[in-house]
Structure 1
Amino acid sequence: MSRERRNLYRILHVQPEAPPEVIKAAWRALMSTLRAHPDLGGDTETAARLNAAYEVLSDPARRAAYDRSLRRTPRGPAAPPADSAPRATASPPPAPPPRAAAGSGGCPFCGHPHAPTLPRDARCSACDSPLTPLPARPRRGEAAGRRHDERFARDAVVELRLPAERLPRRARLRDLSFTGLQLWVETPLAVGRVLRVTTPQFDALVSVVGCRKQGVGHSVHGRLLTLSLAPAAKGVYVDAQA
């Protein structure tokens, strides 16, 4: 295999200062949870790239040598910090036609019709997306990155799905509130696009309200349309009304 030129931290979706246990957890999540391993449907080249990055970053001596090589190149860190200054924004692709709002009789993600009144934790019969809308709150929610609910800092690899794409993308969750979230993605996403964000803790439909260039990728702010929590996550991510 040819020498890997991409940043190894970026390949594993971790920060350069990540401790060994975080690097190991990220590698395992990519290979198993996000099914990058060939036995789980992933492609051989991607799995080999992940394994090669992990072999270097899991070995203290090899990692130290790699970090020194990064400092001698102008490439910079593996991923931008959450508060880094925005750069010139690439024009995102045109937004698709707006989809049905949660609870309006159609799935916001795929448009499949459903009953106006839904049971709690209902899911779309066509795409299995969560359908129950968030409870009404007096605050204004997410608007172009300005959130009025408390944010919970998160740094985790998540699975991102777009309606027109068969395979999921990988993204990084930066923070989560009662009404919105922030993601770091490689390519820009159009404002108004509906995404499905899946983690071991929750499954949500999100409407993009802002996208800006940030380092080598893009910071995406989204408004939560629906949210289904894993039992262990309830009480951690949302309040008792959610």
Structure 2
Amino acid sequence: MSIIALCSTAVATGCMLDRRAIASWGAITPTQYCPGDMLRASYDFLGSETCSTDPAVRCADYFPTVTLNSTPMVFPTQTLPPGYRGSFDFAAPATGDAVTVAFHSSNNPVTIPTDRFDGGSRVFVQRTNVTDVNIAARRITDMRSMAFTHTGMCEGASHAYAPGDLTASPLLSPNMRLVNLCNNNGVHVIVTFSGGAAMPYSTMLTPGECLDIARPDIPAGTDASRIIEVRPLSPDPAARCSATGPNTPPMTLRTTAALACR
């Protein structure tokens, strides 16, 4: 049913058309992968809008159908169920430098009857410029660095430091593994690795030292750690922390982690 017909027959209060161009409606996550990763191709026309719940004004009457193709062909053509949102998971290719997914919508524009009203008229959002899009994800072939700032804090009378989170970047593959960790501070630090397959592991690093995670004395599985905690070997003498304050937090510490596909 066209919007004009719907507004004139099904909706006694009328409707308002809100046209909005959509810049990019397809996505792949993660955008950088290791061979064997699972990738997700997804689309979203709804955004922050909410569909009408009025049975006389059904979003299903306006759903687009999205078709996906890949280059190289890592999956056959996929026609997703009609809807304003959808996704498809597939295995990243074991060879080649990238995979590109082509998104095609059956509707252009895409019309959404929302639950919003303006002056008594229901708002229909119309996503325009819904052209075919090609989204690429690229294979990680080198080491990647992540710099962490371990901000010094007071927790009551104790000194505390913000941990480094290796999962903080949604762009990188979850299958990347730690290669080394460098102490970028002028003091000795105690580093604790956790959140992986192994039990937490702690060690001391001298100023400027980089720890090779493949060292034979480091427990197996430490390379899969996802949380890095750091504290100085000796407490910061300039820090003043108490439950009542005023406080002078300990100095901030910094580390750099190098990661690569396993």
The alignment's TM-score, normalised by the length of structure 2, stands at 0.17
More relative contact order, 1 or 2 (CA 8 Å, 6+ apart): 2
Which of the two has greater helix per residue?
Answer: 1
Asked which structure has the greater CA Rg, the reply is 2
